[in-house]
């Protein structure tokens, strides 16, 4: 199993290209199931989660060709010959539940394994299921699978979420495009990935209004056609690499970065004393003088501070001047990186959903273990700032969401390499 070895201390300078968004791509790929005509995605990221979604779609009978070294995904769902998403694939990745709405909308039946828990919490899918029931789906939960039927087709309805869910909004948005009549999704997620999905569906002929606000209206159509769609920039990869020069000092241009994707996060960096400026080529991040200042962070749905950047922000705050309080409001168990950071000398106190970080002068390299995707990259960031060598194990988590980390950081002067563990 691979390990990543980081030797800390070097300030970074240079440019890092930001890939297409993993989370957008994982919602856009199942959209192919809505149409018999081809859907092509450009600017796709090259990640193991994308390979898992490819495997899932192929198991349903869709064709997915990876072109141009994986940056283009050409998909066709002309002949869907299986409507069961098996546990063996779904358990690897929760986003697999996103095939449920499209299959049901197009063919009136689908069977999808329930994903089960994951490292960062219980993460149920009840909101997905209730929303599809509101559109007229009949659901039966048996032996770990959701058996869904809509014999007469789905029907437009008002779906009001009790709280914001990105995935449930995506599932019902896709399903509603082929439902009879009008659907209104209230308390919808406003994430850029939702906006990107709506744009792609519109390019396929869907009638959608209001994406990016909390109320999305969908006028169902009889069929969707083919389209080509570029995947939006990955705001989480962007935010992660914005933290690299913030942690080490130096200056880096994040190519393709946009302020509107990371507004709340950039504001926190500003408060911490990091300069972020937007220019035609992307976002430029620099830390020139002195120690980072402590800041408090509360994770929220977009446009708030993203939970997917909480672990990485904690890595920065470990060496800030003063005490920072991080409150995790989206997932109940998302501080597993804290004990690993403490092995590197960080002073962190976790109580329930709140972590208090007291900045120390310097972190020290140590062997650490990745526990989930974002936690793993937070350990790499911490390693960049630490004295000596940090060895991160279980980096398969990292490969789910970051392409070529060692190359991207290495090109800016970081001392980082991937080795095969004996």
Q: Which is nearer to ligand UD1, 234 or 406 (CB)?
A: 234
Judged by CB under 6 A, which of 330, 348, 363, 414 binds ligand UD1? Answer: 330
Judged by CB under 6 A, which of 25, 26, 112, 197 binds ligand UD1? Answer: 26
**Binding of residue 117 to ligand UD1 (CB under 6 A):** no
**Binding of residue 137 to ligand UD1 (CB under 6 A):** no
What is the spatial distance between Cα 143 and Cα 100, in angstroms, rounded to a whole number? 17
Query: Binding to ligand UD1 (CB under 6 A): which residues in 138-197?
Result: 165-168, 193
Residue 292 is given by DSSP the state: P
The backbone torsions φ and ψ at residue 262, rounded to the nearest 5 degrees and listed phi first, read -135, 35
Query: Which residues contact residue 128 at a Cβ distance below 8 angstroms, ignoring those fewer than 6 apart?
Result: 97, 100, 101, 165, 167, 168, 171, 172
**Binding of residue 95 to ligand UD1 (CB under 6 A):** yes
What is the spatial distance between Cα 102 and Cα 107, in angstroms, rounded to a whole number? 9
Judged by CB under 6 A, which of 83, 92, 106, 128 binds ligand UD1? Answer: 128
Judged by CB under 6 A, which of 67, 117, 126, 270 binds ligand UD1? Answer: 126
The stretch among 52-60, 124-132, 258-266, 378-386 that binds ligand UD1 (CB under 6 A) is 124-132
161 CB neighbour count, 10 Å cutoff:
18
407 CB neighbour count, 10 Å cutoff:
11
Shortest Å distance, C-beta 136 to ligand UD1: 18
State the DSSP H helix or E strand holding residue 354, giving kind and residue range, or none if neither.
Answer: strand 354-358
Judged by CB under 6 A, which of 28, 53, 90, 127 binds ligand UD1? Answer: 127
Q: Which is nearer to ligand UD1, 359 or 401 (CB)?
A: 401
Tell me the residue number closest to ligand UD1, measured at CB: 167
State the DSSP H helix or E strand holding residue 220, giving kind and residue range, or none if neither.
Answer: none
What is the spatial distance between Cα 375 and Cα 314, in angstroms, rounded to a whole number? 10
267 CB neighbour count, 10 Å cutoff:
14
**H-state helical runs in 30-78:** 48-59
What is the spatial distance between Cα 258 and Cα 261, in angstroms, rounded to a whole number? 6
Judged by CB under 6 A, which of 121, 181, 281, 352 binds ligand UD1? Answer: 121
The stretch among 118-126, 217-225, 243-251, 287-295 that binds ligand UD1 (CB under 6 A) is 118-126
Return residues touching ligand UD1 (CB under 6 A): 23, 26, 94-95, 121, 123-128, 165-168, 193, 307-308, 330-331
């Amino acid at each position: 199993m691979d390990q990543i070895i980081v030797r800390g201390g070097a300030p970074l300078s240079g440019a890092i290209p930001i890939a297409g968004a993993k989370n957008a791509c994982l919602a856009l790929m199942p959209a192919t199931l809505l149409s018999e005509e081809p859907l092509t995605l450009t600017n796709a990221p090259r990640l193991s989660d994308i390979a898992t979604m490819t495997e899932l779609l192929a198991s349903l009978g869709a064709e997915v060709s990876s072109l141009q070294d994986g940056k283009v995904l050409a998909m066709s769902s002309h002949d869907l010959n299986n409507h069961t998403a098996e546990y063996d694939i779904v358990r690897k990745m929760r986003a697999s539940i996103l095939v449920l709405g499209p299959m049901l909308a197009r063919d009136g039946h689908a069977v999808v394994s329930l994903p089960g828990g994951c490292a960062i919490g219980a993460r149920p899918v009840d909101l997905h299921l209730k929303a599809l029931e509101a559109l007229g789906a009949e659901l039966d939960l048996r032996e770990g699978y959701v058996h869904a039927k809509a014999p007469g087709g789905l029907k437009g309805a008002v779906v009001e979420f009790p709280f914001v869910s990105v995935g449930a909004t995506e599932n019902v948005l896709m399903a509603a495009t082929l439902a009879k009549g009008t659907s209104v999704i209230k308390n919808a997620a406003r994430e850029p990935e939702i906006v990107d999905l709506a744009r792609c569906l519109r390019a396929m002929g869907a009638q959608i209004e209001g994406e990016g606000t909390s109320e999305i209206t969908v006028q169902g159509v009889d069929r969707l056609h083919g389209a080509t769609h570029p995947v939006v920039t990955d705001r989480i990869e962007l935010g992660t690499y914005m933290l690299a020069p913030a942690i080490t000092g130096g200056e880096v241009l994040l190519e393709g970065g946009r302020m509107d994707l990371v507004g709340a996060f950039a504001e926190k960096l500003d408060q911490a004393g990091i300069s972020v400026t937007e220019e035609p080529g992307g976002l430029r991040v620099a830390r020139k003088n002195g120690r980072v200042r402590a800041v408090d962070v509360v994770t929220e749905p977009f446009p708030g501070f993203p939970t997917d950047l909480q672990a990485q922000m904690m890595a920065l705050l470990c060496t800030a001047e003063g005490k920072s309080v991080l409150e995790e409001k989206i997932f109940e168990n998302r501080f597993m990186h804290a004990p690993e950071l403490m092995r590197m000398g960080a002073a962190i106190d976790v109580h329930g959903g709140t972590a208090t970080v007291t900045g120390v002068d310097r972190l020290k390299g140590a062997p650490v273990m990745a526990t989930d995707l974002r936690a793993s990259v937070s350990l790499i960031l911490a390693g960049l700032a630490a004295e000596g060598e940090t060895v991160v194990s279980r980096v398969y988590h990292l490969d789910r969401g970051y392409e070529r980390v060692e190359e991207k950081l290495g090109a800016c002067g970081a001392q980082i390499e991937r080795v095969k563990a004996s």
